[in-house]
Chains A and B, each alone.
Chain A
Amino acid sequence: MNRPKAEISPVSVDSHKRWQHVRKDLSTLMWYLVVTLLMLVVILPFFWMLITSLKGAKEVFAYPPTWIPQHWQWQNYLEVWKEAPFARYFLNSTIVAVAVTLGQLTSCTLAAFAFARMNFKGKNFMFLLFLSTTMISTQVTLIPSYMIMKNLDWIDHYQALIVPFLANAFGVFMIRQSFRGVPRELEDAAKMDGCGRLRFLVQIILPLCTPILASQGLFAFMGNWNSYLWPLIVTNSDQMRTLQIGLRYFVGDGGTEWGVYMAAAVLVCLPVILIYFLVQKTFVESMATTGLKDI
């Protein structure tokens, strides 16, 4: 603030500026160096998974470990499908995740519409009731839910993997928020034209709120695809296992085929990573605004 500006000669200003430039360049360089190093550390497990998945049965146990496979063992990826019913696991995971996603979007949209655009008795109570479900974790409901499944004879059936997840209070709140943004005038105009509620929801509101539906759908799909505890306890047979459970038993058999195991791990995480790269922007933005991860 109280620098004696007047005393600086033109020459010194020039050299001062140049020095600042150099300093800025240096700090940028340092920044790239540090961030690249950190990134390498973070990427290392992925890299190691990929490299190991391409190593032969012997090379996996070589010491010191090789950083580039000597013989690229692409067969490992074929072995995965031969040694365990991974095609079936894929099918199961896909069926369940798609069904849950569509079901959740439907139930959430309906409830969100009621909370956002309708006045009814007990609205506040209902809202609190929905809110309270977000405080109850899976672990607490685990045993009774399992008992319900057992009594319904749903163990080892798709219903057990799908039905309990057809509602999601977080989804209701997020979609409700977006529905509230639709102008009232639109609703009045629609009503004047004799448009019923359900039609107004499907034909006017939904097209306006596709981004939030897309991100909620993405969360539902990803959360379900990656879920572990519940599928673990409600499936018994190899035929009904989802990918995550299949992978766990495939590796947990006490074998040592790490090349094949890593190939299986790559296959399990690939779909979600691919989806992530396709819709990265929506994904990160909605995760930042909604703060949802664990579903």
Chain B
Amino acid sequence: MTAAVVNPAPVVTGPKHKWWQHWGEETLSAYLFLLPSLAIFIVFTFFPTIYSFVMSLFKWNLPGKPVFIGFENFRYLFTDSLEAPIFWKSILNTFYLALGVPINLFISLMIALLLNRKLPGVGIFRTAFFLPAITSITAISVVWMWLYNPAQYGLFNSILIKLGLPLQLWLRDPVLAMPCLIMMGIWSGMGYNIIIFLAGLQSIPGTLYEAAQIDGANKFNLFKNVTWPLLGPTLFYVLSVGMINSLKAFTEIDVMTQGGPLNATNTMAYYLYQNAFQYFQMGKASAIAVILFIMLLILTWVQFRFIDRGVFYE
């Protein structure tokens, strides 16, 4: 790498140039600078992505050899009488979990509006709300497993008893397990959203509010006609990031429920993992990866399109 920099001028001898000499010194050096990143991307991003697509066309149960079966994995996932119910359920669960995202945004926005004030001590509150966002999801999951403990000494159950309500099984109840995960997700995801919302709120010029107030706008009008439209891009950004993260959610499921009970919390991301690393059906798992990839790509594409359309007021 240093060689190219120390000795920048390529030695040109006669009319017969080597092909790379046509590139010029700057281009060559630039590619040397890009090389470390590029090498990692090629080996661990591009090649695996293509390989995933290829593998999805094979039946490959480790430790056996791969056999080409065309689109059979996809047909199997969507239509097989044993497989399809679980797979469809995992798709439904994925969207069910994603339902937490808009709820999260609503709560986060309300709190951000509350915290968008210059009062003494507001920094402490902001720190407190942000704390869950930097804590590892593994530790958070362990703590919430304890909160959701199904016995009477579990914190949530002890509160229910105090209120005269029946005990719940929480994570072990097929109906309640997913709402439990969503609730924890809201708690742990809120801090990040609040920070982004606060940044968005603070970037709205104060003169706009003053102008509106002079025109006699009340607080609700201010929110509806100034804050909301100007916060639109931020909102959209946070929504798409939240959706993408929700589609990829894995840690909390693996730590808390392992997809259970009765597949009630088995999402696509988790089902992929189960197929690959518990049942060793690499072909089928790759097919799920391809479907998930396409879903994520659509989300990202929508996100970029909205940015293109100039949702960002600048």
Where the two chains meet, the residues of A that have a C-beta atom closer than 8 Å to any C-beta of B are 1, 28, 31-32, 34-36, 38-39, 42-43, 45-46, 48-49, 52, 60-65, 106-108, 110-111, 113-114, 118-123, 126, 129-130, 133, 135-148, 163-164, 166-169, 172, 196-199, 222, 225-226, 228-229, 232-233, 243-245, 247-248, 251-252, 258, 261-262, 264-266, 268-269, 272-273, 276, 280, 283-284, 287-289, 291, 293-294
Contact = CB atoms under 8 A, between A and B. Distances in A.
A288 B282 contact: no
Given A42-B132, A42-B187, A48 B147 contact: yes
B36 interface: yes
B169 interface: no
Interface in B133-158: 133-140, 142-147, 149, 151-153, 155, 158
Contact of A48 (B2, B55, B155, B198): B155
A143 B276 contact: yes
Given A48-B146, A129-B41, A133-B41, A143 B55 contact: yes
Contacts of B88: none
A143 B285 CA distance: 8
A281 B17 CA distance: 54
B115 interface: yes
Contacts of B245: 293-294
A107 B111 CA distance: 39
B248 A288 contact: no
20 contacts: A31-B119, A64-B162, A107-B36, A120-B30, A122-B27, A126-B38, A136-B45, A139-B272, A139-B293, A141-B52, A145-B48, A146-B277, A166-B36, A196-B6, A197-B29, A222-B134, A251-B255, A268-B139, A284-B126, A291-B237
Interface centre among A146, A226, A243, A289 (most CB of B within 10 A): A226
Given A62-B153, A140-B292, A265-B143, A39 B125 contact: yes
B24 to A, nearest CB: 8
B131 A273 contact: yes
Contact of B23 (A118, A121, A244): A121
Kindly state the interface size class of chain B when it binds its partner: 35 or more
A190 B107 CA distance: 52
A42 B131 contact: yes
B80 interface: no
Contact of A226 (B27, B136, B147, B237): B136
Contact of A139 (B1, B147, B289): B289
Contacts of A140: 48-49, 52, 289-290, 292-293, 296
Interface in B237-293: 237, 241, 244-245, 248, 250-251, 254-255, 269, 272-273, 276-277, 282, 285-286, 289-290, 292-293
B114 interface: yes
SS class of chain A's interface: helix, strand, loop or mixed? helix
B106 interface: no
Contacts of B195: 284, 287-288
B49 A114 contact: no
A141 B48 contact: yes
B34 A42 contact: no
Contact of A42 (B46, B129, B153, B277): B129
Contacts of A122: 27
SS class of chain B's interface: helix, strand, loop or mixed? helix
A45 B147 contact: yes
Contacts of A121: 23-24, 27
Contacts of B146: 48-49, 52, 258, 261-262
Contacts of B39: 167
B285 to A, nearest CB: 6
B48 A120 contact: no
Contacts of B136: 225-226, 228, 243-244, 268-269, 272
Contacts of A229: 250-251, 273
B98 interface: no
B251 A144 contact: no
B48 to A, nearest CB: 4
Contacts of B300: 135
A37 B119 CA distance: 17
Instruction: List the 9 closest pairs (A to B, CB-CB), nearest first.
Output: A144-B48, A167-B40, A120-B30, A141-B48, A288-B199, A114-B33, A144-B51, A120-B27, A167-B37
A262 B248 CA distance: 26
B135 A269 contact: yes
Contacts of A48: 143, 146-147, 155
A229 B272 CA distance: 12
Given A110-B36, A143-B282, A225-B136, A45 B143 contact: yes
Contact of B49 (A106, A141, A232): A141
Contacts of A166: 36, 40
Contacts of B129: 38-39, 42
Given A45-B187, A143-B286, A269 B37 contact: no
B117 interface: yes
Contact of B40 (A31, A36, A164, A226): A164
Given A140-B296, A147-B51, A229-B250, 17 more contacts: A62-B153, A63-B152, A63-B153, A110-B37, A135-B297, A136-B49, A137-B244, A137-B296, A145-B44, A145-B48, A164-B40, A196-B5, A243-B136, A266-B139, A284-B130, A293-B241, A294-B241
